[in-house]
Structure 1
Amino acid sequence: MQHFTSDGRQIAVEWFTALSGSGEGARAGTAKPALLLLHGADGLIYAEGYRLAARTLAASGYHVAFVHYLDRTGDRRVAYSRLRQDFPLWAETVRDAVAWLADQPGTDAQRLGIVGISLGAALAFTVAAAEPRVRAIIDYFGPLPDELARERPRLPPTLILHGSADAIVPVSHARALERLLQEQSVAHEIRIYEGQGHGLTGPAQLDAAARVARFLGQHLQGA
């Protein structure tokens, strides 16, 4: 377990070292692309699932930092009654996490990305809108924050993965994000999984993983 500080609070990070990869970044001794992995509102309740995702990404050649950003507010999972007031604090912590990640030995600060799940994706959009070091976002069924929908900032290349039957974050968020990226002529892909809810299962989960690997390979590997 590693740590960094955000506004005086210690934030835990689970670090997964890149194991392999393709292209220039795969050579021994060279800096590797790196990812922040941001969990959803469930926090660490289902941490093993996030750790499995982190290990999978690391096996594909990315350093992965699984950030316990709820440490900023002392929570294990999101308290929905405080969601709006706590969101800016978590966003600040994720910005600090980007800076921390860029400084890690063996990390290529020019090839950083964020994999965000639900709330984690909303934080990714918010941070990437003002953080040019974020070069790619993987959006797993995340909401587009109202402020960003109004301000329409330029985002980095984004892969949107969403279920058509998501009752927690309606698929309209994915479509709104798609329109924003289209308007900006930003590289993006979108896949809406018919009948899937807030979370992907079965063949949809496998298809999403393959799309993530291709998208990150295109935008971060060998860049």
Structure 2
Amino acid sequence: MQSFTSGGQRIEVEWFAASGGSAAGGGTGTNGPAVLLLHGADGLTYAEGYRLAARTISASGYHVAFPHYLDRTQDRRVAYSRLRQDFPLWATTVRDGVSWLASQPGVEAGKLGIVGVSLGAALAFEVAASDARVKAIVDYFGPFPEGLAARQPRLPPTLILHGALDPVVPVAQAHAIERLLKQQGTPYEIRIYPGQGHGLTGTTQFDSAARVASFLGQHLGPDQA
């Protein structure tokens, strides 16, 4: 287990080294792209699911860092009564995580992305809005942070994956993000899955994984500046 410090707190990080493809150098000793994987409000409740996602991404040739950002507030899962007050602290921690990731051996600092799930996606948008080091975002059914659209941030290329029947984060949130990206001429892809709720099940999991691999290859791959 690795770690970095944010706000005086030790933030644990699970590291998944790139294990396949040529995107991360293919064992040639060259630096390669890397992503932060940000869990949702469930924290580590379903950690094995996030670890499976990390291994899948790393198998495509990307270093993956899975930070336990709730360590900043010493929580195991989100306390909804404190969500608004804690959100800026977690965003700062994710920003510190980007700095940590950029400094890791074998990581090409100019090719960093964030894969965020639900709350993790909201944090990805919040951080990328003011941190140009983030070159790509994968948004798994995340909400748009409150007030962010009004600030008209320049976001990086974004892949939006959302369930049409999501009862937790309405699909309208996905379309709001799409509108901003379209207005600004930012490259994006969107896939709304019919019949899916807050989370993807069955064959949609395989479809989304394939889309993530393709998207990251386009925006963080070896031929990208």
TM-score (norm 1): 0.98
| Higher alpha-carbon deviation: 14-23 or 58-67 | 14-23
Q: Is the 8 A contact 1:25 1:221 kept in 2?
A: no
Q: Is the 8 A contact 1:162 1:191 kept in 2?
A: yes
How far apart are the structure 1 equivalents of 2:77 and 2:126? 20
Question: Could you report, residue by residue, the CA deviation over 1:14-60 in whole angstroms, capped at 9, with x for unpaired residues?
Answer: 00000122358335101010000000000000000000000111111
**SS state of the match for residue 25, structure 2?**
helix
How far apart are the structure 2 equivalents of 1:24 and 1:108? 9
Please identify runs of 4+ aligned residues in structure 1 that moved more than 2 A: 22-27
Amino acid corresponding to residue 73 of structure 1 in structure 2: T
Quote the residue 1:158 is aligned against.
158
Give the gaps of 5 or more residues in structure 1: none
Displacement of 1:92 after TM fit? 0.2
Amino acid corresponding to residue 36 of structure 2 in structure 1: L
How far apart are the structure 2 equivalents of 1:8 and 1:23? 34
Give the gaps of 5 or more residues in structure 2: none
| Higher alpha-carbon deviation: 113-122 or 19-28 | 19-28
How far apart are the structure 1 equivalents of 2:169 and 2:105? 37
Q: Would the alpha carbon gap of residues 92 and 15 (structure 1) be closer, same or farther in structure 2, given more than 3 Å must change?
A: same
Quote the residue 2:201 is aligned against.
201
How far apart are the structure 1 equivalents of 2:38 and 2:7? 19
Amino acid corresponding to residue 194 of structure 2 in structure 1: E
How far apart are the structure 1 equivalents of 2:211 and 2:60? 13
**Percent identity of paired positions between Structure 1 and Structure 2:** 71
Q: Would the alpha carbon gap of residues 23 and 63 (structure 1) be closer, same or farther in structure 2, given more than 3 Å must change?
A: closer
**SS state of the match for residue 200, structure 2?**
coil
Aligned length: 223
How far apart are the structure 1 equivalents of 2:85 and 2:177? 23
1:8-23 map, 5 Å: 8-22=8-22
**SS state of the match for residue 45, structure 1?**
coil
Quote the residue 2:105 is aligned against.
105
Displacement of 1:164 after TM fit? 0.3
Quote the residue 1:56 is aligned against.
56
How far apart are the structure 2 equivalents of 1:93 and 1:189? 27
How far apart are the structure 1 equivalents of 2:6 and 2:64? 19
Quote the residue 1:217 is aligned against.
217
Q: Is 1:134–2:107 an aligned residue pair?
A: no
Displacement of 1:135 after TM fit? 0.3
Amino acid corresponding to residue 134 of structure 1 in structure 2: V
How far apart are the structure 1 equivalents of 2:22 and 2:148? 35
1:164-179 map, 5 Å: 164-179=164-179
1:17-32 map, 5 Å: 17-22=17-22, 25-26=25-26, 28-32=28-32
How far apart are the structure 1 equivalents of 2:214 and 2:156? 16
Question: Could you report, residue by residue, the CA deviation over 1:132-185 in whole angstroms, capped at 9, with x for unpaired residues?
Answer: 110000000000012212212010000000000000000000000000000010
Q: Would the alpha carbon gap of residues 38 and 198 (structure 1) be closer, same or farther in structure 2, given more than 3 Å must change?
A: same
**SS state of the match for residue 147, structure 1?**
coil
Superposed CA RMSD in Å reads 0.9
